Amino acid sequence: MTAPLLTRRQFGKSMVGIVVAFTFAPALTWSAEAELPGDLGVAPRLEAWLAIAPDGTVTIFTGKVEIGQGVLTALAQIAAEELDVALPAIRMISGQTGLTPNEGFTSGSQSMEKGGAALRFACAEARHILLDQAATRLAVPVTTLKAADGVVTAADGRQLSYGELASSGLFHRDATAKVAPKPPAEYKIVGTSVPRRDIPAKVTGGASYVQDLRLPGMVFGRIVRPPGPGAVLTTVDMEAARRLPGILAVVRDGSFLGVVALREEQAIRGREALLRSAKWRETTTLPDEGRIHAWLQAQPDEVAMVSEKRSATAPVVRRLTATFTKRYTAHASLAPSCAVAEMSEGKLRVWSHTQGVYPLRASLATVLKLDPEDIVVAHVEGSGCYGHNGADDAALDAALLARAVPGRPVKLQWMRDDEAAWEPFGSAMVMQLSADLSADNGIVDWQHELWSNIHSSRPGRVGGVNLLAAEHLAVPFAAAQGQSGGEDRNAVPLYDFPNQKIIRHLIRKMPLRTSALRTLGAYGNVFALESFLDEVAEAAGVDPVAYRLRYLSDPRARAVIELAAGKANWRPGVKSDGVRGRGFGFAMYKNLACYVACVADVSVNRQSGQVSVTRVVAAADAGQIINPQGLEMQIEGGVIQSTSWTLLEAVRFDRARVTSRDWESYPILHFPAVPKVEVHLIDRPDEPSLGGGEASTGPAAAAIANAVSHALGRRVRHLPLDPGWIKGAVL
């Protein structure tokens, strides 16, 4: 697999005069055009989003990247629909600095909301411009023209192709967003389940990932990480590694240590030699793993009132309280993080599975003391990730090694223990909830207080460098302060409680590095909120589905709950036999994205304490659906990953280091344990598309926890589920 890098000028020349004269610097930087839809304001020039070749091929440029969510297929559908071209005529170029718009990160389930909206309006306006051009050349009113399959046809049968019409500079203008996109009734491509573009190579063993990348003259690198946070390299026998066959370079800069070799197995042997001789000064500064939640609550914090609502209500007759916790969790990507870098004549080229090519470029420029314009970062999909794993860190590792072998592309792949111990984790969390009830068992006051580390410390932020190796250099770079906000995601209930108070305690001191893991704080908050609501419903003697509907005025929320309950044949009042249980969970991701409701069926092994999730029925409303099968895959994938988190996953550590460094010490769900998942969609073509990639993990976790509680007759409040605790609960 090769991945050529093109500049805008090189790309323009390849388009045979169509875009040769582009001047793109203004279009590729952040802009103040806040009134344009979605991300169109970050690159207002139409040519920043599309180009048409003489043969009619349409190239779409997007800053959003493929991380397994099918985004490039869906964006191609939007472009083909608005341009009236056949889907195979769409070529997608995504995530390359200097070539695609700077849309920041592909994160937050916003690709359709922002990137899709930008493309929809850009392509609608481009089609309008093409029709105007055709009307001028054919000397007919534009209203008499029709466009189909990239060809404009006049009433008298004369035709002009888009390739003939798209003369140089035609799209060299700012978007106005004044051309209305097609009404949904005219859709032919949007709303259909077209095959995803990224799947064939993945299922046939083809070259899909940066791990598969092969470039001429490529060599291979490995790094040696400290044994734990705070450890400092004191001595190492670099000559022992240099003497090994195939070794091209051994690199040490402070506590950063790595090796470059002609072949991959030679690089691994070089790493092993360095590991054997390296001596480290370690620290024992990590908290006691068994008391991590108490540790969080005892740390200095930043307290914020996230939401408060007050009104007169009926008298309170009783109060219910509960505390919920989750452990640190890992991305646990199937393939360890990887990057390829080449340094030549002071210029750096990087291929990375980063979710933000421009922010990564900025951080690399700072560490390497290069002009950002001398760095090109191109996205190549990685094998397994949904959030900020080690992709960006591996890119800096590769660049640091590439400096030692100028002109040679260096493929740097982490080993499994590197990934398990050093990727950024999803934060541990504590959630304390209370509900005041009236005499008629109504909720008159709801309170949710949470403690969490930061949930976003991606690279590219002002004030520091959030790349791992930057902290290990002889002259280290301090990390930038992470972005807060994800900690309280979905802590504010969508339910209509008359009084509520949501308080966030942000702990910036992090014993382990934390950042964005799929859903950020929403997984923990939805688990806690929906579990506690079940507790309250049980105390009130009311069916939990009926109790939810009692407090929901949003018709779309009610619709997904009713659909999930109906498809799962939910029956109020069914008692458990002590082994099988059924539970419900609901959320609207971020309270502004996709709605999802889940019903989970579980069975509990009373002897081992193990839980099996046998079936999950999910209903989802993501507004206008671009690719139904793609959305189903996202909901299903979220349910499966949530099942793994909820049943199994927790980062283990002692006072000095992470100890869960392989699949045995950090187990994930195996194929035989995957539940049967049914997904039912509500399509709303007249509504904006809502992000669905992260929407099902929280509701699935809550449904599973509520199902286990139903089976046991005792409430589950801590994740992941502990078989020892379950065995005690059933005795």
- Write the CA distances from 731 to 23, 125, 607, 666, 714, integer angstroms: 73, 67, 9, 28, 12
What's the token pair of residue 233?
A: 């390299």
Q: What's the whole-number average pLDDT of the chain?
A: 93
pLDDT of residue 24: 29
Distance of alpha carbon 83 from alpha carbon 160, whole angstroms: 14
> Is 167 strand, coil or helix?
coil
User: How much is the pTM?
Assistant: 0.93
pLDDT of residue 236: 98
Considering Cα of 469, then 470, then 471, then 474, what sign does the dihedral take? positive
Q: Is the pLDDT of residue 13 over 50?
A: no
Lowest mean pLDDT among 14-28, 47-61, 246-260, 415-429: 14-28
Distance of alpha carbon 24 from alpha carbon 4, whole angstroms: 20
Distance of alpha carbon 390 from alpha carbon 88, whole angstroms: 34
Query: In the predicted model, what is the mean pLDDT of residues 488-511?
Result: 95
In 285-332, the DSSP E strands lie at 302-309, 318-326
How many residues would you count in the chain?
731
pLDDT in tens, 285-330: 999 999 999 999 999 999 999 999 999 888 999 999 999 999 999 9
What is the b/e burial string over 557-569, where b = at least 16 CB atoms within 10 angstroms of the residue's CB? Answer: bbbbbebbbebbe
Please, which pLDDT band fits residue 8 given cuts at 50, 70 and 90? low
Q: Greater confidence, 255 or 198? A: 255
**Upper half-sphere CA count for residue 682 (Cβ side, 13 Å):** 23
Q: Is the pLDDT of residue 10 over 70?
A: no
> Is 199 strand, coil or helix?
helix
pLDDT of residue 461: 84
Query: In the predicted model, what is the mean pLDDT of residues 638-648?
Result: 97
pLDDT in tens, 110-137: 888 899 999 999 999 999 999 999 999 9
Please, which pLDDT band fits residue 376 given cuts at 50, 70 and 90? very high
Q: Which residue in 496, 520, 712, 682 sits closest to 604, CA to CA?
A: 712
Q: Give DSSP secondary structure letters for 627-663.
A: -HHHHHHHHHHHHHHHHHHHHT----B-SSSB---ST
pLDDT of residue 386: 83
pLDDT of residue 247: 98
Please, which pLDDT band fits residue 25 given cuts at 50, 70 and 90? very low
pLDDT of residue 207: 83
Distance of alpha carbon 282 from alpha carbon 652, whole angstroms: 18
Residue whose token pair is 């304001």: 41
pLDDT of residue 385: 79
Q: Which residues pair with 378 in a beta bridge?
A: 96, 351
pLDDT of residue 109: 80
pLDDT in tens, 331-356: 999 999 999 999 999 999 999 999 99
pLDDT of residue 4: 55
What's the token pair of residue 697?
A: 């993990």
pLDDT of residue 1: 64
Say which residues have a Cβ less than 8 Å from residue 38's Cβ, sequence separation at least 6.
113, 114, 115, 116, 117, 118, 120, 121
Query: In the predicted model, what is the mean pLDDT of residues 460-475?
Result: 93
pLDDT of residue 5: 63
pLDDT of residue 20: 27
Distance of alpha carbon 678 from alpha carbon 618, whole angstroms: 6
pLDDT in tens, 569-579: 999 999 999 89
pLDDT in tens, 75-102: 999 999 999 999 999 999 999 999 999 9
Q: Is the pLDDT of residue 639 over 80?
A: yes
pLDDT of residue 23: 29
Q: Is the pLDDT of residue 27 over 90?
A: no
> Would you say 411 and 218 are in contact if contact means Cβ atoms under 8 Å apart?
yes
* Domains of the chain, start order: 8-194 (3.30.365.10), 210-282+331-422 (3.30.365.10), 519-730 (3.30.365.10)
pLDDT of residue 7: 58
What's the token pair of residue 345?
A: 């004549």
CA 432 to mean position of chain CA atoms: 27
CA 519 to mean position of chain CA atoms: 8
pLDDT in tens, 200-235: 988 888 888 999 999 999 999 999 999 999 999 999
Q: Is the pLDDT of residue 530 over 50?
A: yes
pLDDT of residue 716: 93
pLDDT in tens, 549-567: 999 999 999 999 999 999 9
The number of beta carbons lying within 10 Å of the beta carbon of residue 105 is 22
Please, which pLDDT band fits residue 730 given cuts at 50, 70 and 90? low
What's the token pair of residue 58?
A: 């349409």
- Write the CA distances from 118 to 40, 80, 183, 185, 414, integer angstroms: 4, 14, 16, 20, 36
pLDDT of residue 111: 85
Distance of alpha carbon 713 from alpha carbon 715, whole angstroms: 7
